[in-house]
Amino acid sequence: MPGAPNDFPITSPTPKLVGSVSGGSRYSMAGTNISVLHLRGSAFEMGQQYGSLMREEIDQLWPEMLNFISAHAKDIFSDLPADMREFIEKYGVPAALQLTLDVTSPFTPRHWFDLMDGMSNTSGVNVTDIHRLILFPELVKASCTNIGAWGAATAAGTELLALRALDFGLDLPLIKFPVLVNFHPTDGGASHSVLSWAGVLGAVTGMSSSGMAVTEKVWRAYDEEQNIAGYPFHFLMQDILWNDVDTDQALSRVASANRTCAIWLGIADRDNDQFRLLHYSYRRVDVYNPKNFPVYPPYHDRFQDLVFVDKHVQPSHHMCLNELMHQYWGNLDAPGAVQVSAVHGTGDLHAAVYDYANDQMVISVPTFVDGSWRPAHASPWFSMDTKWLWDPSNAGRAD
């Protein structure tokens, strides 16, 4: 096995209020370096609250991230189509981000511009710089692990459980400023939580009070036509949390979107007790469930009420995750999912377990120990009560 068991207990740290503005509040969590935000209002108002509450971190992170991306462009963008790599080599990273902004803006819903305008208004960061940098995921994606289990596969025997583990290395400046942002829109949509980094809008990890949750990983084996002009995938993922109430609505959003890059997209639906893994790309969308997932024993067996992909290129010839699924099938719960993440060695930049049976979002972020960063999967995990995360009446005060 590439990792090792995680011996830290899952804890429930008490939130401490450390900042507030009209409609928004910021909390620290004892024993962690993560900030928890509650934002309430229109998209513009939530952007304003975000920018004000995290201004110092955003101001520091933006130039550091741009410098990092530029310095490591050859490695970061190695999987892009040849013409895009040539464009970056010739014109530089800022030009590539601007190109991405230009070709995705016509397909980006209005509320994203409102969020960015609000954030710029209070953070002092130019709105174009914000827009450019938050499109970084659209160019790079990431290697990750996605697991969705329910029914017979889980210890609860009913409620949905999902693991989303993000692998992208420990050298990004993002690592210093993790944040769990709880959006409470007052002009339509559901309260939802996004695990991210200071000022980075869009979701690659998150769950919603509507019962929806999302996961993602790059689809490296995709070899069909690529597209850069469309709906940024991480905006679409957060819009599923924000606006959709079931799998059908989420799949309709995917089907009708001007899709861009190729990813594996996981869509969890608590109320219908199901998790679907999608091949998501410009030209095609394949929707997989436990019965039609393209398994390939002995590396990936078929399981009842369980679908998963490991952090490697699919079809993966790594035995670890399949063996762990045999070990935990029928008894999978949040502590078990934490051990799966740790033993598989997946989730270095962050990881989350969506535990609908116990109204918990269990998360981990990297920790700085003895002069170096320890990956999230090997760090302490802590649980957040989703009743507190999603109840707007609790925004602005701790339990």
Domain map of the chain by residue range?
Answer: 15-42+141-394
Whether 396 shows a pLDDT value over 70: the answer reads: no
Whether 159 shows a pLDDT value over 60: the answer reads: yes
Q: pLDDT band at 392, cuts 50/70/90? A: low
Q: pLDDT digits over 32-55, tens only?
A: 899 999 999 999 999 999 999 999
Q: pLDDT band at 166, cuts 50/70/90? A: very high
Provide the whole-model pTM.
Answer: 0.95
Task: Work out the percent of the chain whose per-residue pLDDT is above 90.
Answer: 80
Pick the CATH number of 15-42+141-394 from 3.40.50.300, 3.40.50.150, 3.60.60.10, 1.20.1250.20: 3.60.60.10
Q: pLDDT digits over 104-138, tens only?
A: 999 999 999 999 999 999 999 999 999 999 998 88
Placement of tokens 């997209």 in the chain: 265
In our burial notation (b when 16+ CB lie closer than 10 A, e otherwise), range 213-238 reads: bbbbbbbeebeeebbbebbbbbbbbb
Task: Work out the percent of the chain whose per-residue pLDDT is above 70.
Answer: 97
E-only strand ranges, the chain: 15-21, 24-29, 35-41, 143-149, 161-167, 178-185, 192-197, 206-208, 212-218, 263-269, 274-280, 285-288, 306-309, 350-355, 360-364, 367-369, 372-374, 382-385
pLDDT of residue 89: 84
Provide the residue count of the chain.
399
pLDDT of residue 394: 57
Q: pLDDT digits over 3-27, tens only?
A: 899 999 999 999 999 999 999 999 9
pLDDT of residue 225: 85
Q: What is the mean pLDDT of the chain?
A: 93
Whether 266 shows a pLDDT value over 80: the answer reads: yes
Strands 360-364, 350-355: pairing kind: antiparallel
Whether 280 shows a pLDDT value over 70: the answer reads: yes
Q: pLDDT band at 398, cuts 50/70/90? A: very low
pLDDT of residue 204: 96
Placement of tokens 């760090």 in the chain: 379
